Amino acid sequence: MVPPRRVQGVGVTDPEREIALAPSILAADLGHLADQVRAADRGGAAMIHVDVMDGRFVPEITMGPAITRAVREATRLPLDVHLMIVEPERHLASFAKAGASRLAVHVEVCPHLYQTLHEIKVLGCEATVALNPATPPEQVEWVLPAVSTVLVMTVEPGAGGQPFIPEMLSKVRALADRRRVLGLAFDIEVDGGIGPATAAAVVEAGATILVAGSAVFGAPEGIAAAIARLREAARAARARP
Ligand code: DX5
Ligand code: ZN
């Protein structure tokens, strides 16, 4: 297995650095998963986002370590595994073994969040804490120094193709403010309803990693063109004074 490339601190401290795009394979044609992942890689994706759902934290059941491994074998890009599952601590090791580079757990289901984040790092992965739309940013205040990334859900987790919740922009701004005041360098990742129409606003608010499912894999213009378009929208927002 080829070792994955790693990303760290993408674009947080250096305004010249690219915003990272993380296509979500939830919207991919799973019958041609490897081809679709390779197309995203060639098109300029910074990482591949893997949405894991358990039928408990969210109603749907999607993919697990087996699919994660298949993606790992198709690309050297970092795998950004988003665990929308209860008791995520029970499954961290199997996702790390399957090739995850980054593991996201939801604050809503982690009573021992420091410990869970520590376990992720011991497994050699970057630790992300994720927040549902109704979860206030204050809930992750005390773990900010312990994470690489805060993932702000910009739709209710559980399905692709939902409309972006505009109220989440002020949550992104609040986290970007805390990042500045505390002198930290965590990334802010946004997930849900991200496309050419919403990318600029989230980047302006302070997001540095953009997850996009249907806007990439469902785009009529094709995967590479969709990534280029998103990147252009993000870059234009960054360039504004
Ligand atoms: C939603 C998932 C998202 C989803 C985003 O629960 O966490 O990653 O794939 O899909 P779009 O980009 O279509 O909103
Ligand atoms: Zn996700």
The answer to whether the CB of 114 falls within 8 A of the CB of 91 is no
What phi, psi does 157 have (nearest 5°)?
-65, 150
Confidence of residue 17 (pLDDT cuts 50, 70, 90): low
Q: What is the pLDDT of residues 67-86, one digit of tens each?
A: 999 999 999 999 999 999 99
Q: What is the pLDDT of residues 20-49, one digit of tens each?
A: 999 999 999 999 999 999 999 999 999 999
Task: Looking at the CA of residue 153, tell me the nearest atom of ligand 1.
Answer: 7
For residue 51, indicate whether it is catalytic. Answer: yes
Q: How far apart are CA 115 and CA 84, in angstroms?
A: 18
Q: What is the pLDDT of residues 171-190, one digit of tens each?
A: 999 999 999 999 999 999 99
Of 204, 203, 194, 201, nearest to 226 by C-alpha is 194
Q: What is the pLDDT of residues 107-134, one digit of tens each?
A: 999 999 999 999 999 999 999 999 999 9
Q: Considering 51, 54, 80, 187, which one is annotated as catalytic?
A: 51
Sequence-distant (6+) residues with CB within 8 A of 111 are none
The answer to whether the CB of 131 falls within 8 A of the CB of 150 is yes
Going by the DSSP 8-state scheme, the letter that residue 68 receives in this structure is H
The answer to whether the CB of 100 falls within 8 A of the CB of 64 is no
Q: How far apart are CA 115 and CA 149, in angstroms?
A: 16
Structure tokens at 65: 């370590």
User: Ligand 1: which residue has its CA nearest to atom 4?
Assistant: 160
The answer to whether the CB of 150 falls within 8 A of the CB of 140 is yes
Reduce the DSSP state of residue 62 to 3 states and report it: coil
Tell me what pLDDT residue 239 has.
Answer: 75
Position 59 pLDDT exceeds 60: yes
pLDDT-above-70 percentage for the chain: 93
For residue 187, indicate whether it is catalytic. Answer: no
Structure tokens at 187: 């990334």
160 Cβ inside 6 Å of ligand 1: yes
80 Cβ inside 6 Å of ligand 1: no
96 Cβ inside 6 Å of ligand 1: no
Q: What is the pLDDT of residues 152-167, one digit of tens each?
A: 999 999 999 999 999 9
Tell me what pLDDT residue 236 has.
Answer: 86
Q: What is the pLDDT of residues 81-117, one digit of tens each?
A: 999 999 999 999 999 999 999 999 999 999 999 999 9
Ligand 1: centre distance to CA 61 (Å): 14
Sequence-distant (6+) residues with CB within 8 A of 120 are 92, 96, 103, 105, 126, 127
Ligand 1: centre distance to CA 157 (Å): 7
Structure tokens at 26: 């939830």
Mean pLDDT of the chain: 94
The answer to whether the CB of 10 falls within 8 A of the CB of 208 is yes
Tell me what pLDDT residue 114 has.
Answer: 98
Position 2 pLDDT exceeds 60: no
- Partnered with residue 105 across adjacent β-strands are 129
For 113, 115, 154, 188, the CA distances from 174, given in Å and listed in that order, are 21, 25, 14, 11
157 Cβ inside 6 Å of ligand 1: yes
195 Cβ inside 6 Å of ligand 1: no
CA torsion, points 151, 209, 211, 130, in degrees to nearest 10? -10
- Best residue among 85, 155, 214 to mutate for probing ligand 1, ranked by most atoms within 8 Å of CB: 155
